[in-house]
Amino acid sequence: MARTSSLLVALLAAFDSAVAAQWKGEVKKVDGVTYQCKCYSDNACWPTTADWKALNTTVDGALQLAIPPGAPCHKKFENGTVSTFDEAACAEVKANWFNEQWLTDHPIANLWPLYTNNTCLPTDDPNSSCTRGMYGVYVVVAKTKAQIKAGIDFARKRNLRLIIRNTGHDFMGRSTGYGSLIINTHSFKDVKFVKKYSGPGDWTGSAAVVGAGVQGRELYRQAFAQKPPVVIVGGECPTVGWGGGYIQGGGHGPLTTIYGMGADNVLSFDAITVEGEYVTANAYENPDLFWALKGGGPSTFAVVVSLTVKTFPEIPTAGTTININSTHTNDTEVFNKGFHIFHNLANHYVENGMFVYFEVSPGRLHIAPIVGPRMDEKKLNEVLKPLFDQLDAAKIPHDRHTKAFPTFFEFYIDMFEDEQPNQNSVVGGRLFTHKDLDDNADKVADAILFASNHPTPETIGISIGHIVDPGHGVPVADNAINPKWRNSSSFVITNILMTGLESWEEKKQLEDVQTNVVGKKLREAGPDGATYVNEGDLNEPNWQESYWGANYPKLLQIRKKWDPKGVLYTKTTPGTEDWEVLDYGTKLCKKVQ
């Protein structure tokens, strides 16, 4: 019997190999390295029209052509093969081009469009060119788990590049991919709150079961509507797909210094594996997958459908905004001194349970806001007295305003500002620890100022900062997040601004500046630091160590177990060492020798 079983296993393996070979894309040789590519539309293995129609039937009509958001303004999308021009729809696109909510509701739009190649923008000239660029070809706008499963199965069997797109709120291009099949999970909006959690693990407080497509602000609203109101650890940006890349990359936000990272608070995941299997991952079921999904990287181990997380009682919160800009001074030395005073106190802020959001660019520091959880106006001003005293003693001209609120939600709605999407930049970043600030505070401030001004004579930078320490509230967490986060003090996202219309060579040159000029200064200033999975440099040296530290070997082992064939792919995530996107950012291929 054992012999028969062995023969059957061998025959099935041979059959699977033969089927897989049928759907292989082209073989490429680059610099002496041989690659086997995914299947694309210029390959014989590409699904036929009948195949796509069959998939559409399977997903109950949820399959759509992946049409870029700017296409209604053009007559010639894909050389006129698809009719997209619609004057009224074009007007809607133009009116909403900087509206995050409108863009996140679109089936495929990416809020930061550099990695779409900006090849189909809104225009007043309908005869101008519109191509698909780096967007996918088809999208499953999924509303059921079965539709997600069908999309995964189709992509796996046909060897297609698969993209999981939740909101497109993504600095690093992971929500888009040339020639891909996209699965959109944005419609999974169900939220259920429970007063007392009784599932796996040692948490017995309140909790919420949250669909993958729920966004930050709408989750905050629903939490506040509970009786009594509760809070949840979310991001500062209102449109982030909370259960998608945010949690799977770790997730920091205004309450992180007291309650930890978003992923620290997950109790369970419901997901679909790359084999199309429905699984639950928590402390008892599939604990390795549970551990990896909490900070191990977006679209890396499985497709998350919903998750269960801790909630906490509402808390009073106070906030302060501070500005130093051209209305106050045009003296660079004075401005830089003001930034040093502010940022050098990072350890002080987080030791008091605070979170600080700031933006710094040439001649402009916008701190909006400093967050004081569990504080009233008096307490916040007391904690910030060292900052105010130093600014005043150094005669740094500035404005500052402090307000207090009975709840975090009311504070958040009043004092946080929406971002403006559809900006183009090459992104990098660095996490600085308490030790970095203790040892090199001035050097860290200088590196951030350098990144935020003119990294080269021809370029302008802007940096987005977050002073935050999840280790203050959650000193130890059993998950994939880089342990360096437990000693963090300040995290900065650096940007080299672009038009988005630069040539491939120019883009590569700016990427090199971000990595080897700006990034080098940040790494030298913060040698004890690290980088952040969701907001970092795609070309970060030694990214495995920098993003995950000592957790990387375990993550790699789990990736090989749950997705050994690379059905999922996002750059600089566990297990992608042998994969490259070739041909000017288009075809995804794996090294075979």
Q: Which residues contact 138 (CB under 8 A, 6 or more apart)?
A: 52, 55, 63, 64, 65, 66, 181, 182
Length of the chain: 593
φ and ψ at residue 78, rounded to 5 degrees: 50, 50
Q: CATH 3.40.462.20 occupies which residues in the chain? A: 317-549
pLDDT at 15 over 50: no
pLDDT of residue 585: 94
pLDDT tens, 260-314? 999 999 999 999 999 999 999 999 999 999 999 999 999 999 999 999 999 999 9
pLDDT of residue 16: 47
pLDDT of residue 202: 92
**The CATH number of the domain covering residues in 49-184:** 3.30.43.10
Q: Which residues of 503-534 are buried (b: 16+ CB within 10 A; e: fewer)?
A: eeeebeebbebbbebbbebbbebbebbbbbbb
pLDDT tens, 186-206? 999 999 999 999 999 999 999
Q: Which fold has domain 191-313?
A: 3.30.465
pLDDT of residue 7: 52
- Cα–Cα distance, 557 to 480 (Å, whole number): 12
pLDDT at 5 over 70: no
pLDDT of residue 21: 60
pLDDT of residue 9: 42
- Domain at 317-549, CATH from 3.40.462.20, 2.60.40.10, 3.20.20.70, 3.40.50.1700: 3.40.462.20
Q: Which of 438, 359, 365 is nearest to 398 (CA)?
A: 365
- Cα–Cα distance, 303 to 145 (Å, whole number): 10
Q: How confident is the model at residue 57 (pLDDT cuts 50, 70, 90)?
A: very high
Q: CATH 3.30.465.10 occupies which residues in the chain? A: 191-313
- Cα–Cα distance, 62 to 55 (Å, whole number): 9
Q: In what order do the strands lie in the sheet with 355-361?
A: 399-405, 317-324, 364-373, 355-361, 461-467, 488-497, 425-433
Pairing relation of β-strands 461-467 and 355-361?
Answer: antiparallel
pLDDT at 3 over 60: no
pLDDT at 532 over 70: yes
231 close to 373: Cβ distance less than 8 angstroms: no
pLDDT tens, 76-123? 888 777 889 999 999 999 999 999 999 999 999 999 999 999 989 999
242 close to 221: Cβ distance less than 8 angstroms: no
pLDDT at 2 over 80: no
% of the chain residues with pLDDT over 70: 96
Q: Which residues of 294-332 are buried (b: 16+ CB within 10 A; e: fewer)?
A: bbbbbbbbbbbbbbbbbbbebbbbbbbbbbbbeebbeee
DSSP-derived secondary structure letter, 71: G
Q: How confident is the model at residue 22 (pLDDT cuts 50, 70, 90)?
A: confident
CA dihedral of 540, 546, 547, 551, whole degrees rounded to 10 = 150
Q: CATH 3.30.43.10 occupies which residues in the chain? A: 49-184
- Cα–Cα distance, 408 to 428 (Å, whole number): 30
Amino acid present at 501? L
Q: How confident is the model at residue 11 (pLDDT cuts 50, 70, 90)?
A: very low
Q: How confident is the model at residue 131 (pLDDT cuts 50, 70, 90)?
A: very high
Give ∠ CA 43-45-46 in degrees, rounded to 5: 75
177 close to 161: Cβ distance less than 8 angstroms: yes
Q: Which residues of 564-582 are buried (b: 16+ CB within 10 A; e: fewer)?
A: eebbbbbbbbbbbeebbbe
pLDDT of residue 232: 97
pLDDT at 182 over 50: yes
